[in-house]
Amino acid sequence: MENRNKKTLEVRWHGRGGQGAKSASAILAEVLFEEGKHVQAFPEYGAERQGAPMRAYNRISDNPIRRRCSVENPNIVVIVDPTMVVSSNPSEGCTSDAVYLVNTPEDAQVLRSRMNLSADARVLVVDATKITLEELGQNRPNAPLLGALSHIFTDVSAETFADHFIKKMKQLPAPILEANRRAILRGREEAVLA
């Protein structure tokens, strides 16, 4: 997605504690920083426990970012937990042309209709849960979602996201890192845009 107006892009992540939304938000910021962008990444927690709803945010700009408040009008919404399509009101405050990246096996057109989005909004779906269960044996959907983000940030490849993920998570065993690399690349390949 090009930043045609040279404005600040805002990203809001909806997930649950332990699903990796905070880490994915940080990796997105690191990747885009290395691409020459000005970035912010910060989480927002309610009850700080595994499985509790949480949000994470990014700001991305070609210019220095002076805002230090939460993201209220995101251009991009990443829904890590598919139950949050209904429970977290993900379209709240979004720009009319927002892009929604959703972890779901649901058809993108059906989801678009169910979410009652504006005609200008775009929906990108990927079954990140299925991918991570197959690759890692556990539900950690952040890796495939990073791969799918390469459809939105078109000047950054899924391979670049994979390299940054590996660098950030280098404390994990090599087989787990390689499984995450495969999950990121599958996220790119298996994502569908509506």
> Looking at residue 50, which CATH number applies to its domain?
3.40.920.10
Res 21: pLDDT:
92
Res 139: pLDDT:
92
Assess if residue 3 is contained within a domain.
no
> How far is the C-alpha of 188 from the C-alpha of 185, rounded, in Å?
5
Assess if residue 13 is contained within a domain.
yes
Residues 77-98 as b or e (16 or more Cβ within 10 Å = b): bbbbbbebbeebebbeebbeeb
Assess if residue 111 is contained within a domain.
yes
For residue 30, name the pLDDT band (cuts at 50, 70, 90). very high
Assess if residue 155 is contained within a domain.
yes
Assess if residue 133 is contained within a domain.
yes
Contacts of 56 (CB under 8 A, 6+ apart): 12, 13, 15, 21, 22, 24, 25, 41, 42, 43, 44
Please provide the average confidence, as pLDDT, over all residues in the chain: 92
49 vs 142 pLDDT, higher one: 142
Name the residue type at position 123. V
Question: Are the beta carbons of 68 and 91 closer than 8 angstroms?
Answer: no
Dihedral, CA atoms, 68, 76, 184, 105, nearest 10 degrees?
A: 140
Asked if the model's pLDDT at residue 44 lies above 90, the reply is no
Assess if residue 118 is contained within a domain.
yes
Assess if residue 128 is contained within a domain.
yes
Reported as a single tens digit per residue, the pLDDT across 102-151 is 999 999 999 999 999 999 999 999 999 999 999 999 999 999 999 999 99
Contacts of 51 (CB under 8 A, 6+ apart): 16, 17, 18
Res 87: pLDDT:
85
Assess if residue 130 is contained within a domain.
yes
Structural domains of the chain, count: 1
- Indicate the pTM of the whole model: 0.92
Res 37: pLDDT:
96
Q: Residue 46: which domain range? A: 9-193
Q: Which residues pair with 12 in a beta bridge?
A: 57, 77
Contacts of 127 (CB under 8 A, 6+ apart): 103, 104, 105, 190
* Positive or negative torsion for Cα 15, 17, 18, 21: positive
